[in-house]
Amino acid sequence: WKKIKMIKDSVLIKAINNLDSSSRNKYFLYLFGQVALSLLDLFGLVCIGTLAALSVSGVQSELPGSRVSRIVEFLGLEGLTLQNKVAGLAIMAMTSLIIRTLLSILITRKGMSFLSFLGARMARDLVARYSLQDRTGLLRFSEQYRWTTESIGLFELCDHLA
C-alpha cells in the first residue's frame, strides 16, 4: 500500500493528472509510439545478431545454434540456402531500422510540437490566473505554479529519455 501511495503522490502522476483528457490521451499515444519504435529497433537488432551468428556458423561450416535456428524458423527462412537466409535477414534488419528512423523523425517532431504547445498553454493559463489574483491568493497560486512548472519540465525530461 505504501508503494501505491508513493506512486499516486509522484510528480509524474500529478503532472499527468494536470492535463485535460484529450491532452492526456495524446501524451499516452506519444509514449506508446516511442515504445513501438523501441520494439521495431529491437527487431532490427535481433535480425543483425541472427545474421552475424548465422554468418559465423556458415563460415565455420557448422550448423547454427538452437536459438538462431528458432529465429530463422520464426521468420520463415528455414528452407532457404545460407546466402538467401543472410540476404533475407539483412533486408529485414535494414528495412526495420530505416522505417524506425523515419517514424522516429515523424513522432519526435509531432511530440515536441505537442509538448511545446502544452507548455505554452500552461504558461498562458498561469499568467492569466496570476493577473486576476489578489495578493492574498498568491501563496496558493505559487504552489500550483510550482507543480505546473515541474509538470512541464517532467514532460520534457520524459521526451528526452524516450
Quote the pLDDT of residue 151: 58
CB neighbour list of residue 50: distance below 8 Å, 6 or more residues apart: 68, 71, 72, 89
Quote the pLDDT of residue 7: 67
Q: Report the alpha-carbon distance of residue 106 to residue 41 in Å, rounded.
A: 15
Q: Report the alpha-carbon distance of residue 133 to residue 137 in Å, rounded.
A: 6
pLDDT, tens digit, 9 for 90 and up, residues 69-106: 899 999 998 889 889 999 999 999 999 999 999 999 99
